[in-house]
Amino acid sequence: MKKIVFFTLGILTALVTVVAGFVSCDQTSASVGRLIVNITDAPSAPEIDQVWLTITGVQVHVAGSEDTEEESEDENGGEWKDLPLVGAVDGELKFDLLKFIDGSQEKVAVGFLDPGKYTQLRMDVELVELHIADEGELVFHVAKLPSDVLKFVHPFEIANGADTELLFDFDALKSVVVTGKDTYIFKPVVKVTTINQPFQITTLSLPNGVVGSYTAPALATTGGVAPYTWSLDAITPVVVGNSLSIDPATGAISGTFAVAGDYTLRVKVIDGSAPQLSTTKDFDIEIAASGALQIITTSLPDGTEDVAYPPYVLVAANVNGAYSWTSADLPTGLSLSSLGEISGMITEPGDYSFTVTLTDTVATDNQVIIIRINEAP
């Protein structure tokens, strides 16, 4: 149960993602949530070339918990729990925030929390430096802080099996205030929004196959902390002669099926945090006899609402002579040519399914196809 927090400071945009997920049972039996702090930035005023932020700590407020070595008592009740900094040198992290204006992010801290409701986060900032053009030269100026602790009050919740992103969007022009010649104050102005997202394997389906060699492309996830390690947890039913393996780095599956039939492949992925988080997903596939007509495609690449879907040709094996593809329940906006090409545009986001039929001179095969249409950015 985890949460990720994307943060941004200074003349910046901060993303805070609070991650909630299940902790792998071989690491700990306690159910906790993970807080990951990343840093990013928004475009700044044109005269500012660099914004250097020195961070010495990130904490989350825990109400009513008992003191530990990682917690310090708060005068208003409860404690502030430290999140371990990622890549700190002598207890400090230093960033030029403007290197993140392209939307990239960098981890600041990672920690674990019990499930429940939280209201506050804070960041210890030792120094904010501005690199500003001055008569053709770039000069550093220290921006004064009203406090060396930046506190953010915004309710969020750690929930089992879910990711929650807290998006901290700082106003670049209002965060740095000019108070006199070469005198600046850092007073962050921020808008906070919340996005919920589960930690899960997001690949919709695996392709079908025929007796003989079998391959499936790399799998995908949301949430977690890289690197990810994939494993093939189970194949049912167990059949002598079948031999499959999975690439632990990508989740791509390869091998052979010796016997035709319907199979369920259970895939597991473990992330790179400590303790590790894990999730599994079952995929149903159909393996046809050697030489039999078989529709291989079971899902389509993701699309975007109100955006033309790039033409995609359905794949089949052992097609004999003339053939034709048809479908009676295509989602509104999509079309299917007799040669198996999908195209068109869907105007509403969501997961859609429809059945296609392939007929050649010898046989007919049917297959349910899944497509995911994402919201426009």
Same domain, 163 and 240: no
Same domain, 15 and 96: yes
Q: How far is CA 101 from CA 94, 104, 172, 327, in A?
A: 16, 7, 11, 46
Last residue of a domain, one of 197, 217, 233: 197
pLDDT of 43 higher than 60: no
H helix and E strand count, the chain = 1, 33
Instruction: List the single range of 74-88, 227-241, 282-296 with lowest mean pLDDT.
Output: 74-88
What contacts 318, CB < 8 A, 6 or more positions away? Answer: 210, 288, 291, 292, 293, 294
In the structure encoding, which two tokens stand for residue 235, read together?
């194949």
User: Radius of gyration (Cα) for the chain, nearest Å?
Assistant: 26
* Confidence label for 278 from pLDDT (cuts 50, 70 and 90): confident
Same domain, 139 and 227: no
**pLDDT exceeding 90 applies to what percent of the chain?**
45
Helices (H), the chain: 172-175
What contacts 291, CB < 8 A, 6 or more positions away? Answer: 210, 318
pLDDT of 252 higher than 90: yes
E strand or H helix at 350, and its extent? strand 350-359
* Confidence label for 369 from pLDDT (cuts 50, 70 and 90): very high
Cα end-to-end distance, the chain, whole Å = 27
Tens of pLDDT, residue by residue over 45-67, are: 557 777 788 989 988 888 764 44
In 3D space, the residue among 98, 166, 85, 164 whose CA is nearest the CA of residue 132 turns out to be 98
pLDDT of 182 higher than 80: no
Q: How far is CA 6 from CA 38, 112, 309, in A?
A: 4, 15, 31
**pLDDT exceeding 70 applies to what percent of the chain?**
75
Tens of pLDDT, residue by residue over 196-236, are: 666 789 999 999 999 999 999 999 998 777 789 999 999 99
Q: How many domains does the chain have?
A: 2
Same domain, 30 and 175: yes
Last residue of a domain, one of 154, 178, 197: 197
Domain hosting 215: range is: 201-374
- Identity (one letter) of the amino acid at 117? K
What is the predicted pLDDT for the residue at 160? 61
Same domain, 188 and 55: yes
Q: Which residue has the higher pLDDT, 28 or 195?
A: 195
Whole-prediction pTM: 0.62
pLDDT of 312 higher than 70: yes
Same domain, 177 and 33: yes
3-class secondary-structure state, position 14: strand
pLDDT of 4 higher than 80: no
